[in-house]
Structure 1
C-alpha cells in the first residue's frame, strides 16, 4: 500500500500524522509513505527524523482581512495544486490523508482532481478554514470532538479521535516520573504552556514560587525553550523550592504524563487527546490568540463534562492558579471524579479507528 500524508505548520497537525504512520507501520509490512509539507514548517524538521520520505510545496494561508496578499495566496494555491498533482502522479498513492494546516489544501484538492481517495482529520472542536474548504472534496472527514460534527456533511463524518492518544497508552509512569526527577510518593502537577511555552503562565508560576514551596505536592514546571534562560535568572533571585523542578522542554512527554496526577496547560487538541486517553484531570488555560478561539471551545468540551477546570487567561493570576491546584489535589473525591470524566471522553484506539477508516475507503475505490 502507498499512502501520501500531508499536515503542517504546528505540532498539533504533525504529531497526529506521525502517530498514524507509526500505527500503520505496525499493521502493514509492505507500506510506503510520502509526506508532503512545507519547507519552512515544523514538519520539515520532524518528518525526516522519522525516516519518512518528505517533499515540500510552497503555500501560505489566507488573511482574515481584505488584503492584496490574499491574491498572492490564491496564485500560490494554484501552483501548489499543480506541484501536488505532479508529486502524487509520481508516487501513485492508494490514499491521501490530510491532518490540517495550509499545506493540506492543495494536496487533498489535487487528490480529488486525480480521483485518489482522501481523508481529512480535524483535531479541534471548531475546524479551520482549510478543512472546511476540503470537506467538499474529501471522501471522509475524521473528527476528534463530537462538537466538530456540525460543521461537516453528516454522511462523510466519523468520530475517530486523535491518533496521538494511542501513543500514550501503556507508557511506564514510574519511569516517566524518575526521568523527570519527581518523587514517587508525592502528588505531582505538571505545568506547561506548549512546546514554546506561554508567557502568561510563566508569569503566574514565577509569582507563586515561594508559596508553591510550602505545598504538599511537587511541581514539574516546563518553561519552553525560548523562555528558559530568562526564567532561570528570575528564579535565582527568589530561590528554587525543593519541590519545584524547572525544565525548558520534555522530550518524552507521553512517558512523563503517565506518571502525573494533574496537568496545567493550554488547550491544544493534541494535549487534550493525551489527557483524556490517560484520564488525567487538568486545569486548562486556553490561548486567546488562536483562530476562532478554538482552544477555549476545546477546553469547554472537557470542562462541561467535569474532566477539567477552565481558567481563562484574563483571569489568570498566581493566587488563582494555586487555588485551583489546591482544590483538586487536596480533594481525593474531586480528583477521582475528574479522572473518571477524562477517561470517559478519551478515545485510546484513535489511531486504529483512523487506519480502519482509511482502509475502508481504499476498498470502496478499488
Structure 2
C-alpha cells in the first residue's frame, strides 16, 4: 500500500440510508486527500445509479446479494450469487488498485468484504443502525476498524462516531437561514413551525394524526409544514397548514422549523439531532424495534420525545407540540441537547480512519 494517491472503494449501495453515508464519507476523504481516487460499488437496484453519479463518483455495478430473512428458494441460490458477486468485485478492486474498502451494509457490502478479505485488503465497517445487519457482522470479522452510529450495535469493539452526513446538513445555520427558509415555503415569518415528514413516501399514522391536529395547532398559532408523500394527499385545508408531497430542500425545511414530528430511521435521527432540531420521534411499529433504539440516545439526552405509533393521535400531537413551542426555555434546552447528541464530524472521523487503514497520510502525516 502507498500514501500516494490512495484508492478508496466505498460499498454502500441500495437504500439512501446506505448510499448517503457512503457519499458523505467519500466527500470527506476528498477533503482530507484531494488526490484520492474513489470508486463506489453499487447495483442496478435502489438509488445507486441515480445518486452516486450525480455526486461525481465513478460507479461500478456488481450483482446484488440480498440476504433472505427466512428459509426459502432464495436462500438456496445464495451461495452461487455470492460467488458471482465476489468474483466481479475482486475484478473491480484489482482494476482500481484498491488500497482500502469501506462498507456501510446493504446488498453490495457482503461481496465487497469477502472480496477484500480474500485479497488481504484493509476493511473498514460502518454500521448506521442500532442493530447491525448480517453483512456488517460478517465484515466486522475481517475489519481493520469498526465504527457505529450508536452504542449497542452488536459489533464488538465498535467506535461510536455517529453517521457521516453531507456538509449541507452538518454546517447548516438554522437561525441564519430561518427567514429565507420560511419565505421559500410561504410560512409565517414569526410564529412557531412544526415540520412533519415520514420519509419519501410519507407515513400513514403521522399523516392521520397531523390532519387531526391541524385545527388545534393552527388555532394556537402553529404553522405546519407537512411532507405527506406523493400518494397521500390530505383532505384537510386550513390557513397555516402547508402540505407538500415531498421536500426537495430538507436543509431549508430544518431551518424553517421549531419542532419536527418524524420517524426514527437512523439517517433521520442523525440529521435532526445534528442540526439541533427538537423532535417527536415515532418509531415504525414493526420490525425488530430498531427505530426506537436509534432515537433513544437523543431522547435520553433531552433532545426529543419518543411516542409509540399506537399512541399517536391528533390530541397527542397538538399537546406535545404546543407544550414545546409554548415554553421558549424548554424549547431552547431541547434544541441544545439535540445538537450535543449529534455527531457533526462523523464524516471526517470515518474518512481519517479509512485513510489510516490504507496507510495514507492526512494533513501531511502518515497515519499508522
1:50-108 CA deviation, whole Å, 9 max, x = no partner? 22111212224222222222111232122111111111111111211112212111112
**Is the counterpart of residue 129 in structure 1 residue 129 in structure 2?**
no
**Is the counterpart of residue 170 in structure 1 residue 171 in structure 2?**
yes
1:107-148 CA deviation, whole Å, 9 max, x = no partner? 122111111111111111211122112110121111111233
Q: Does the CA-based 8 Å contact 1:166-1:350 persist in structure 2?
A: no
1:279-314 CA deviation, whole Å, 9 max, x = no partner? 211000111234x22111112222222211111111
| Whole-angstrom distance in 1 between the partners of 2:252 and 2:74 | 43
1:216-246 CA deviation, whole Å, 9 max, x = no partner? 221110012232xx43xx23xxxx2221111
The CA deviation at 1:274 is: 1.3
**Is the counterpart of residue 265 in structure 1 residue 259 in structure 2?**
no
SS at match of 1:119: strand
| Whole-angstrom distance in 2 between the partners of 1:74 and 1:180 | 51
Q: Does the CA-based 8 Å contact 2:132-2:155 persist in structure 1?
A: no
| Whole-angstrom distance in 2 between the partners of 1:76 and 1:327 | 53
294, 297, 302: which one aligns with 1:298:
294
| Whole-angstrom distance in 1 between the partners of 2:243 and 2:83 | 47
Runs (5+) with no aligned partner, structure 2 = 1-5, 361-366
| Whole-angstrom distance in 2 between the partners of 1:293 and 1:58 | 30
The CA deviation at 1:213 is: 2.7
SS at match of 2:224: strand
Report the counterpart of residue 188 of structure 1 in structure 2: 193
Report the counterpart of residue 246 of structure 1 in structure 2: 243
- The 1:38–1:214 alpha-carbon spacing in structure 2 relative to 1, beyond 3 Å, is same
The CA deviation at 1:178 is: 2.5
Please identify, of 174-183 and 340-349, the stretch whose mean Cα deviation from structure 2 is larger.
174-183
Report the counterpart of residue 354 of structure 2 in structure 1: 358
Report the counterpart of residue 120 of structure 2 in structure 1: 115
Report the counterpart of residue 159 of structure 1 in structure 2: 160
CA RMSD in angstroms comes to 1.9
- The 1:167–1:113 alpha-carbon spacing in structure 2 relative to 1, beyond 3 Å, is farther
**Is the counterpart of residue 201 in structure 1 residue 197 in structure 2?**
no
Runs (5+) with no aligned partner, structure 1 = none
SS at match of 2:359: helix
19, 23, 30: which one aligns with 1:25:
30
Report the counterpart of residue 312 of structure 2 in structure 1: 316
The CA deviation at 1:166 is: 4.5
SS at match of 1:125: coil
Q: Does the CA-based 8 Å contact 1:168-1:258 persist in structure 2?
A: no
Number of matched residues?
353
Report the counterpart of residue 50 of structure 1 in structure 2: 55
Q: TM-score, normalised by structure 2?
A: 0.90
SS at match of 1:4: strand
**Is the counterpart of residue 285 in structure 1 residue 282 in structure 2?**
yes
| Whole-angstrom distance in 2 between the partners of 1:241 and 1:6 | 45
The CA deviation at 1:183 is: 2.6
248, 253, 268: which one aligns with 1:256:
253
Q: TM-score, normalised by structure 1?
A: 0.91
SS at match of 1:176: helix
Greater share of helix residues, 1 or 2? 1
| Whole-angstrom distance in 1 between the partners of 2:231 and 2:37 | 36
Report the counterpart of residue 18 of structure 2 in structure 1: 13
| Whole-angstrom distance in 2 between the partners of 1:216 and 1:62 | 49
| Whole-angstrom distance in 2 between the partners of 1:106 and 1:60 | 7
Q: Does the CA-based 8 Å contact 1:165-1:349 persist in structure 2?
A: no
